[in-house]
Chains A and B, each alone.
Chain A
Amino acid sequence: MKSHWIIAAALSAGLTGQALAQDKVKLVDVVELSGAGATAGTNWKNGIDLAVADINAKGGILGKQIEIVHYDTQTNPGNTRAAVQRAIDEGTYAVLGPVFSGPIGASMQIAQRAEIAQLVGGEAAGLTMQGNKYLFRTSLSQTAAMPKIAAYLKNTVKAASVAVVWVNNDFGKGGRDAILPELEKAGIKVAVDVATEQGQADFAADAIKIKNANADAIFVYLNEEESARFLRAAKQQGITKPMVGETTLLGAKVIELAGDAANGVKGHVGLSIDAPIPAFQEFGKKFQAKYNYASDHNGLKGYMAVYMVKWATEKQKKFDKKGVADTLRGATIKPSEEPGILIETTIEQNGDLDRESFLAEVINGKQVISATLPKLKP
């Protein structure tokens, strides 16, 4: 008799477990949580967690709660490949991440072979040029952003020569390789081309080199923390020329770390919690409240990645892994349909994105948006 009870209990537990599993959709995030990419990866992960909490609180995707799992890549291609393979073996609905292009390059073929959408945080130009139909960006690529900066340098700053300072990782090198031809096209001379290291603490020597080059403007393409350190060093060396950059030069974190030295910095901003869009600012507040620090653009990217998956699933009205990629390709997601996407986003056939972006300047410790740039293909 006792054994009957045990069997019945085991069966009901099994059935409940099964029912629970059926009510959930598994998403695996494979991202840099240790190693060189940890700062970017942690922001991306927190953005994802925020989106998942929001979606689950509102009833999930098509009535199913999201079960999110994060796997660390250690910023190492071999480990990334293992983690993505594990995610696919475990039946992930889509792969989120990684953020650095090296780990993306090592894992994108696996998601492609499994015909599963992979939403990545990488900005390097080459990623979407390999004909992979399952790879999707969550931000503008550098090839989309750099022409806007070159035009800004030429028309607004009116610079005839520019000093370029960049961080020697895939992000910085990709940006530098994308801006140089654009500067040449715009007829702007590169006065000096300065490579710096990821995690570099002292920028005094670089600042002196740039000061001596005496260019009309300085194009700064570093990660957030390094940007702040560079701005402080530039101020100490008395550099007064306009400093122009991208999202990573004008972000909240840079302003917080660089203090006064950030004033006067200007440039092009893709995703920023300071953008004049209430949804972005709302995200910024929620992120700050939950994690007690300001999100960078990677937090926004992670947040939007989850909503891209949600939108595609609801659009196809079923859970079809391959269908997610098919639905996303060529689609335009409007905030009126899916508020979580925050800004109207067009996904091109190769996985690149097209969005509005902004020109901004830091005035009195605040990022002020001076103009909104339209989508490349409005």
Chain B
Amino acid sequence: MTAPATHESLPQRSRLSLPAFIDGSLLTLVAGAVILWFAPVGMGRYGTYVLSLWLVMSVAVMGLNLTLGYAGLKSLAQAAFMGLGAYATAILTTKYGVSWYAAFALSGLLTFAVGLVLGFPALRVKAHYLAFVTLAFSTLIWLIMRNEQWLTGGVFGIANINRPEFFGIKLFGALEFHRFVVVVTFILAVLLWWMIRSPWGRAFTALRENPIRAASLGVDTRTYTLLAFAIGSAYAGFAGALYAPLVEFIDPSPFSLSQSFFLLLMVVAGGSGYLLGPFIGALLGVVLPEWLRFAGSLYLIIFATIVMLLLIACPQGVSGLLERGWAKVSGKAGARS
């Protein structure tokens, strides 16, 4: 993942992604959105809810994928950023009557700004040390969520968070809200797809592969490191803003440090640095345990075993495995999307 770029690999990447405006990733996103729009029909509220939860977690994982998978910054604060977004949305909509759309935007802005501030240490420290800085931040946010009861409801959380309306259509039903989540996730995923293909995305990847070389090529490493962190955090904020009305209740537990680790696992298991990796990772993290519930009390043990075996078999995650498979079938050398 952090291997230095070779002379061959960079031109090859640009050759693969340049020819057309539309590529396989975008087509998959469009097809996925269409399928997910209709998927819950006849599925029941439970299935619909799990699909929505999967998409919401995918948004948070997309952000972390940008920070870690593209820019190579190891962050352990993604769940904390998601918490910031969720609490901002919950507080603004329930206590101050702000519309969900404004709260969504403000949650994104807030997490972007905080991500920017937290990104500064990222300029000074690398790898494990950066992880420690974000770990401290994660604990700090969790303590604020739990202890500042006047604002956050403390351990009792915030209940009765309303779901938004869409041009007069109420989204209280599981199916209506699911479709809303599909649309928002699709927009956010396409934005990220565009960003990855833009010069920004190239700069992020260059940062991950070889920061010194990137700097020597004129990439402003300071700005791009900060941007990667801030945009990744903003995606967590957006995910939080969707999570609060989806569950209609929040307390500090889904935003603890262990959840940040879990999000990290989703990035790695899905395939870090692949655009569609977060969806696969979140599918593993959210849908697989639900599906394994038939196994009763053993379900978490089976889940952990599957994840471990998966990572032993394909350290690059499921996306890496698919890519290798595709390369074998088509007889081409694999390249990251």
Residues of A whose CB lies within 8 Å of any CB of B are: 33-36, 70-72, 75-78, 81-83, 85-86, 88-90, 101-102, 105-106, 109, 124, 126, 130, 168-170, 173-174
Residues on the A chain within 8 Å of B46, using CB = 82, 85-86, 88-90
Q: Is there contact, CB below 8 Å, between A173 and B156?
A: yes
Q: Helix, strand, loop or mixed for chain A's interface?
A: helix
List chain A residues, Cβ under 8 A from B238.
Answer: none
Show 19 residue pairs from A and B whose CB-CB distance is below 8 angstroms, ordered by the A residue. Answer: A72-B293, A75-B253, A77-B254, A81-B249, A82-B290, A88-B45, A90-B46, A106-B157, A106-B247, A106-B248, A109-B248, A126-B156, A130-B160, A168-B146, A168-B147, A168-B155, A170-B251, A173-B149, A173-B156
Q: Is the CB of A169 within 8 A of B155?
A: yes
Contact B45 A102 (CB under 8 A): no
Tally A-B pairs: CB < 8 A: 86
A33 to B298, CA, bound (A): 11
Q: Are B45 and A105 in contact, CB atoms less than 8 angstroms apart?
A: no
State in angstroms the CA–CA spacing of A75 and B258 once bound together: 12
Q: Are B297 and A33 in contact (CB under 8 A)?
A: yes
Closest to B146 in A: A168
Q: Which residues of A contact B335 (CB under 8 A)?
A: none
Q: Say yes or no for B49: interface residue by CB 8 A criterion.
A: yes
Which A residues touch B247, using CB under 8 A?
77-78, 81, 106
Contact residues of B between 227 and 251, Cβ < 8 Å to A: 243, 246-251
Chain B residue with the shortest CB-CB distance to A45: B297
Q: 8 Å CB contacts to A: which residues of B155-202?
A: 155-157, 159-160
Query: Is A130 a contact partner of B159 (Cβ separation < 8 A)?
Result: yes
Residue of A nearest to B243 (CB): A78
Chain B residues within an 8 Å CB radius of A70: 296-297
B244 to chain A, nearest CB (A): 10
Q: Which residues of A contact B254 (CB under 8 A)?
A: 76-78
How far is A86 from B50 in the complex, measured between Cα atoms in Å?
10
Contacts of B53 in A (CB 8 A): 78, 82
The answer to whether the Cβ of B334 comes within 8 Å of any Cβ in the partner chain is no
Q: Is the CB of A105 within 8 A of B156?
A: yes
Chain B: interface size category: 20 to 34
The 7 A-B pairs with the shortest beta carbon distances in the complex, nearest first, are A102-B251, A106-B249, A86-B46, A89-B46, A85-B46, A89-B44, A170-B155
Query: How many angstroms between the C-alpha atoms of A366 and B107 in the bound complex?
Result: 55
A221 to chain B, nearest CB (A): 13
**Which of chain B's residues have a CB closer than 8 A to the CB of A124?**
156
Q: Smallest CB–CB gap between B334 and chain A, Å?
A: 35
Complex alpha-carbon distance, A87 and B249, angstroms: 19
Most interface-central of B53, B156, B160 (chain A CB within 10 A) = B156
> How many angstroms between the C-alpha atoms of A11 and B295 in the bound complex?
28
The chain A residue with its CB closest to the CB of B154 is A173
Judge if B137 is at the interface, Cβ distance under 8 Å. Answer: no
Residue with the greatest number of chain A CB neighbours at <10 A, chosen from B47, B49, B146, B296: B49
Judge if B300 is at the interface, Cβ distance under 8 Å: yes
Structural contact, B248 and A102, CB atoms closer than 8 A? no
> Which residues from chain A contact B155 at a C-beta distance below 8 Å?
101-102, 168-170, 173-174
Task: Report the separation of the CA atoms of residues A82 and B288 in the bound assembly, to the nearest whole angstrom.
Answer: 13
Nearest Cβ in chain B — how far from A294, in angstroms?
Answer: 21
Quick one: which of A72, A168, A173 contacts B299, CB cutoff 8 A? A72
Inside 8 A of A126's CB, which chain B residues have their CB?
A: 156
With A34-B300, A70-B297, A102-B253 given, is the CB distance from A82 to B49 under 8 Å? yes
- Kindly report which residue of chain B lies nearest to residue A90, judged by CB atoms: B46
Q: How far is the CA of A70 from the CA of B293 in the complex (A)?
A: 9
Q: Which residues of A contact B296 (CB under 8 A)?
A: 70
- B100 smallest CB distance to A (angstroms): 18
A78: chain B residues within 8 A (beta carbon): 53, 243, 246-247, 254
